[in-house]
Structure 1
């Protein structure tokens, strides 16, 4: 049973990476619009534990992947990402294992940090399907 779960996790991660690869070739405005169109209502707080990765969407938004089926679009209060100097490591403050909007902050170890203004969970399956449909429409 663990083998099936591990294979499913690997496949989900591969699909997420493929969407990120396709999405990263999109202009920033289109990527942000894709994620916003498939994001739920703002959340006050989310559980925070060993994130699998993150993606810069634009200077005020990041996509945080906690697990392949749990991805969040975070709006930051400033152009924090302009000062990351290409760092791959991102730090997020949290309290008792939760990240809260309007309270916790994102930084890259540069001394600059930005408050998280909004957190919305993204339906990555729907975003992948919309991205694929859009790509298919362009090709035809």
Structure 2
């Protein structure tokens, strides 16, 4: 269920993108993290994990989305900084009994160029995947409109008139 806060968070992210404030990568990453957080449910103690996941999306040095199924994802926040999580090639988990637990288990970040590091999981929250996809689509449309508007020479009438 959407709350008024979520609506305003998405509206604010859209306004930032439309105004061109999100031109740099760091701001765009912050906006994406805010979007995921706005669609995250209440924290859970643990989730079922049978050693496989569909993918993951790094959000910053302290958070990522873990996709356990195509339409199921979790916002995993670790004790930051978890260096190079944005650039990792692989992630893995130390779990007990097929469950990943907040405050007890760790995520291992691996890359070809570094020794794997571990970060303790601070919080796990379910994500509303449909709402995230819908809002990401809206944000892409806003970016496309902004790019189109910037590409038109000033003083030229809009195409189709």
TM-score scaled by structure 2?
Answer: 0.64
Q: Kindly state the Cα deviation for residue 85 of structure 1 after the two structures are TM-superposed.
A: 9.0
Specify the alignment match of 2:71 in structure 1.
Answer: 69
Between 1 and 2, higher relative CO (CA 8 Å, sep ≥ 6) is seen in: 1
Kindly provide the CA deviation profile for residues 24-77 of structure 1, in whole angstroms up to 9, marking residues without a partner as x.
x77111110110111110010000121111121101001111101110110010
Quote the residue 1:131 is aligned against.
Answer: 136
Is 1:59 aligned to residue 61 of structure 2?
Answer: yes
Structure 2 alignment gaps of length 5 or more:
1-24, 147-161
Which consecutive aligned stretches of 4+ in structure 1 deviate over 6 angstroms post-superposition? Answer: none
Aligned length: 115
Structure 1 residue 86, shift from structure 2 partner:
3.7
* Corresponding residue number in structure 1 for 2:36: 35
- Contact 2:54–2:67, Cα closer than 8 Å, also in 1: yes
**Structure 1 residues not aligned, in runs of 5+:** 1-24
**In the superposition, relative to structure 1, how do residues 137 and 34 fare at CA in structure 2: closer, same or farther (>3 Å)?**
same
Corresponding residue to 2:127 among 80, 100, 122: 122
Distance (Å, rounded) in 2 between the aligned partners of 1:56 and 1:134: 18
State the distance in 1 between where 2:86 and 2:131 align: 32
Larger radius of gyration: 2
Structure 1 pair 114–123 and aligned structure 2 pair: CA distance change class (3 A)? same
- Quote the Cα distance in structure 2 between the aligned partners of 1:35 and 1:94: 24
Cα separation, 2, equivalents of 1:43 and 1:89? 24
Q: CA deviation at 1:130?
A: 1.7
- Matches for 1:94-113 after TM superposition, within 5 Å: 94-109=95-110, 110-113=115-118
